Structure 1
Amino acid sequence: MAAHGWVRALLVVLAGVIAMAVVAGLGLWAAGAADLPAGAFPRVVAATLVTAVGGTVELSGNAGGLAGSDAALDVVPLSVTLTGALVVAAGFLRPLRHRAVAGAAELAGWAVRIAVLWVAALLALAFSARQTFTLSLGDLGQDALGDLGDLFGVSPQVGFTTDVAATVFSGLLWLAGVLVLALLVARGAPLPGRLLRFQESVRPAAYAMVALLLACVVLGVVVGLVVAATRGHASETFAVILLGLPNLVWLALTIGLGATWNGRVEGPFGLPMPQVLDEVLRGRDVSAVNLGTLAEQDGRWWWLVVADAVLLLAAAFVAARRSPARVRPWQHAVRLAVALALTVLMICLLGRISARYGVSVLGIGDLGGGLGGELFLRPEVGSALGLALLWGLVTGFLGALAARRTRHRGEAPPRPHPG
């Protein structure tokens, strides 16, 4: 029985890693990474998987004694992250289905098996995600610097490696979060007897938030496919869908709630979709990204408020339908507000972007300018959480009122009167 459990755990881990690798590989291929020199593509895929589970990929540069280089990258490819989370969660829950209660020791043993094998997978990815590239200054569009590089024998190199310890630690936290969330969301998943009293207050709201996030992703896929079919640049659009679609749609979700993100785009970096984000952020000063600044470029961005309202009301209705009828509307409102605030906090933590690269030769070509660039995007967390609480309270209350006249899940239908 124990051996059978290890085999099942191995299948869960392999399924998760393979699914993430396929999505990451297709996304990187669509982005043109298959043309990287020295057979680097598999290593870039491994690095993408490392960052997808919260691991650390460190960029390094070496341009010799006459030159300098600087690079940094901090972004989570949430399409890959979401794929892995869904596959691992489904594999974790599969042996537990059709059961009402499970002992804490049994759940812990099943989770530990998966965690041990997950650590092995993380170590394999971390040690394989290492590569160094040699750059030509002339190919970077700076002919004068290219001539200097040839004269002095300067060949800038940039590479990446992983912090193995940080990757294993972050990857285990990611796995723990996925397994706990799976137990919270799945109505049919068994819980230890001592925790059963919490499922009524936690599971409906947790399920509604996961459904909300997935609905945003589905809408984003539809929009992305329409863009690819009507506006060209299909490969770039598919790269965004397969690598960072949740980064964009969940950012839009928070902006529709009224949140503000601050950032800047300088140099060759840019945001692939939608272009209006790049236009707002590009400049020397830090810019605010919110409904006001986006609407200045295109008034249709105000429709985000309507979309958020519809999605949140639907989520609130679903949460109320999955709760017992005895739960009062104000209780639904409070629970949904807390759940939405935690969801927005997760988006704020995972949706941050930071990228920097620069090269200089003999002081020509500023590390932060001429041959380089910078991109960063960070949220104003406090105001975002406050707005999430307000939206959650209002939509949670309205959703509960709308669900009052419907039969709630788990309730027995009324018996017909004998004729």
Structure 2
Amino acid sequence: MSSRTAFDRVTARHGWTQALVTVVGGLLAMSVVAALGLWAAGAADLPGGSFPQVVAATVVTAVGGSVRLSGDAGRLAGAEGGLTVMPLSVTLTGALVVGRGFLRPLRHRAVAGAPELIGWAARIAALWLLALLGPAFAARHTFEVSLGDGPLDNLGDLFGISPEVGFAADVPLTVLVGLLWLAGVLVLALLVSRGAPLPGRLLRFQTAVRPAARAMLWLLLASVVIGAVTALVVAATRGHPADTFAVILLGLPNVTWLALTIGLGATWDGRVEGPFGLPLPHVLDEVLRTEDVSALNLSTLAEHDGRVWWLLVADAVLLLAVAFVMAALSPARVRAWQHAVHLAVALTLTVLMICLVGRISARLGLSVLGIGDLGTGLSGQVLLAPRLAGALGLAFLWGLVTGFAGALPARGRWRGTGGPDR
């Protein structure tokens, strides 16, 4: 029995079951990580039994969905705001689980036809769409807002005002973006896997694409692991373990991948206002908590803590390491300048991905009778956005230099052996 025939029979009999396991496993893993992170952050104490709804909202935002903030107290009071942020720890967990489930039936095969791959992906996508409707509809809740003591409280009693602030997922947008997120995860899973089959017409591209894609995966995961170890050391030596675990379980890649781009020389624009904050080291909060939008880069951070220059060193070491491994896993016929170009393109696309998913925009404004903030201290905003052109240009240059430098010792390693086959 040919491998293709075996694959066809397996997917025909068990394709839907395996797709269901992949989808349920991905959403369940994301929900568990989100719940643990929110619990560590103290969200279990939110009023009105809203913890499950907040977990659902976190899962929605983790796949790129949108959550609207709103408020109402008749015609005399209102609230407006929005939230755009991806808890990348939850996102990364879901991507790894779904990607693994997608690749599992494809292992031990060299070639697969495009219809086979599309059919297998379509099963997962259909079930993913249905499953995503659950958290999308569940991610909605309304909280009563206290007016506090003083004149606003008296006005509330006089006019019978009971302000409410709530959130709700944008269901159509969440489903659409969630499907795009899934498509990206499945494509990336094929790119980074050494053993997953490709259609015959694409096999000639795997020498250039797959080693570089795997190198970027290792770069991203290595930065997360280093960040996790650093966070655990800080928690053990400086206390506040609950806050540390909340950051690890909700937004660790948000921090480490931001640091990765800053170490490359990129600049982000940001501002923190009001009681809100970012899950970032204190020095970043100091730079961003100003009256106007601030530039966040190595230079501005070094004014507060000179140790941030070690980010540049860490990036150089990591990139040289992944460049060496990428070249060592490539056929010996690939030249050093080709490795440099491959890594430059891959790193540029990786930084583009970080810039797109690492943006943060959170805003909430409350008012009663035209008086802002209601005396509650809840109004505020958080902004974080990259200067995209500069970040991509620097990434390309870093990729060229480290890709060439890392390929030189790898070529010596495989000289005379013919190099690895794949």
TM-score, with structure 1 as normaliser:
0.94
Deviations 1:259-281 (A, max 9, x none): 00001111101123301111000
What residue is the counterpart of 1:417 in the other structure?
Answer: none
4+ long deviations beyond 6 Å: none
| Residue identity matched to 1:263 | G
Counterparts in 2 of 1:387 and 1:412: CA distance versus 1, 3 Å:
closer
Say if 2:68 is the partner of 1:58: yes
Q: 1:412 to 1:299 in 2, by over 3 A?
A: closer
Structure-2 separation of matches of 1:84 and 1:40 = 23
Residues 267 and 369 in structure 1, CA contact (< 8 A), matched pair in contact too: no
Structure 1 residues 3 and 153, CA gap change in structure 2 (3 angstroms)? farther
Superposition deviation, residue 370 in structure 1: 5.8
Aligned to 1:30: 40
What's the counterpart of residue 302 of structure 1?
309
Write the letter of the residue equivalent to 2:98: V
Distance, in Å, in 2 between the alignment partners of 1:12 and 1:272 is: 30
Is residue 2:217 matched to residue 1:210?
yes
- The superposition leaves residues 179-224 of structure 1 with CA deviations (integer Å, 9 ceiling, x where unpaired) of 1100010001111111100100100000000100000000111011
Q: How does 1:161-240 map to 2 (within 5 A)?
A: 161-240=168-247
Query: Percent identity, aligned pairs only?
Result: 73
Q: How many residues align?
A: 409
What does 1:53-132 align with in structure 2 at a 5 Å threshold? 53-132=63-142
Go from structure 1 to structure 2 and tell me whether the alpha carbon gap of 1:28 and 1:143 turns closer, same or farther (over 3 Å shift).
farther
Amino acid at match of 1:382: A
User: CA separation in 1, counterparts of 2:93 and 2:234?
Assistant: 22
Q: Note the 1:354-373 alignment, pairs <5 A.
A: 354-365=361-372, 371-373=378-380
Structure 2 contact 368–374 (Cα < 8 Å) conserved: no
Cα distance change of structure 1 residues 202 and 241 upon mapping to structure 2, 3 Å threshold: same
Deviates more, 1:361-370 or 1:295-304: 361-370
Q: Alpha-carbon deviation of 1:369?
A: 10
SS at match of 2:362: strand
1:328 equivalent in alignment to 2:338: no
Alpha carbons 1:59, 1:159 under 8 Å: kept: yes
Distance 1:102 1:324 in 2: 22
Give how far 1:127 is off. Answer: 1.2
AA aligned to 1:186 is S
Aligned to 2:350: 343
- Give the SS at the match of 1:38: helix
Partner SS for 2:68: strand
The DSSP-based 3-state class of the residue aligned with 2:330 is: coil
How much has 1:362 moved relative to structure 2? 2.3
Residue pair 1:23, 1:242 contacting (<8 A) in 2 also: yes
Q: Distance in 2 between matches of 1:52 and 1:80?
A: 6
Q: Is 1:261–1:289's contact at 8 Å kept on the other side of the alignment?
A: yes
CA distance in 1, matches of 2:173, 2:257: 26
Residue of structure 2 in register with 1:416 after alignment: none
- State how far apart, in whole Å, the 2-side matches of 1:399 and 1:153 are: 69
Task: Confirm or deny: 8 A CA contact 2:147 2:375 kept in the other structure.
Answer: no
Q: What amino acid is aligned across from residue 43 of structure 2 in structure 1?
A: A
One-letter amino acid matched to 1:225: L
**Alpha-carbon distance in 2 for matches of 1:314, 1:144:** 62
Task: For residues 66-116 of structure 1, give each alpha carbon's deviation from its aligned partner in whole angstroms, at most 9, with x where no partner exists.
Answer: 223222111000000000000000111111111111111111111111011
Match of 1:146 in 2: 153
Change (3 A) 1:256 1:174: same
Q: 1:157 is aligned with what amino acid?
A: E
Which 10-residue stretch deviates more, 363-372 or 200-209? 363-372
The 1:180/1:24 distance shift into structure 2, 3 A limit, reads: same
Cα root mean square deviation, aligned: 1.7
CA contact (8 A) 1:70 1:367 kept: no
Which one of 236, 245, 257 corresponds to residue 250 of structure 1?
257
Which letter does structure 2 place at the counterpart of 1:361? V
AA aligned to 1:399 is G
Matched letter for residue 277 of structure 1: L
Q: Identify which of 57, 80, 84 aligns with 1:47.
A: 57
Identify the range of structure 1 (64-73 vs 241-250) with the bigger mean alpha-carbon deviation.
64-73
2:281 is matched with which residue?
274
What is the Cα deviation at residue 371 of structure 1? 4.6
2:106 partner letter = L
Contact 1:358-1:369 within 8 A present in 2 as well:
no
**2:218–2:322 Cα contact (<8 Å) kept:** yes
Q: Output the amino acid matched with 1:111.
A: A
Are the aligned partners of 2:67 and 2:82 in contact in 1 as well (CA < 8 Å)?
no
TM-score (norm 2): 0.94
Structure 1 residue runs without a partner (length 5+)? 414-419
Measure the CA separation in 2 of the matches of 1:56 and 1:189: 33
Letter aligned with residue 44 of structure 1: V
Unmatched runs of 5 consecutive residues or more in structure 2: 1-8
Question: Take 1:367 and 1:76, find their aligned partners in 2: how far apart are those partners?
Answer: 29
Cα 1:143–1:71, aligned 2, differ >3 Å: closer, same or farther? farther
- The question of whether the paired residues in 1 share the 8 Å contact of 2:67 and 2:170 is answered with yes
Matched, 1:241 2:248: yes
Which amino acid in structure 1 is aligned with residue 90 of structure 2? Answer: V
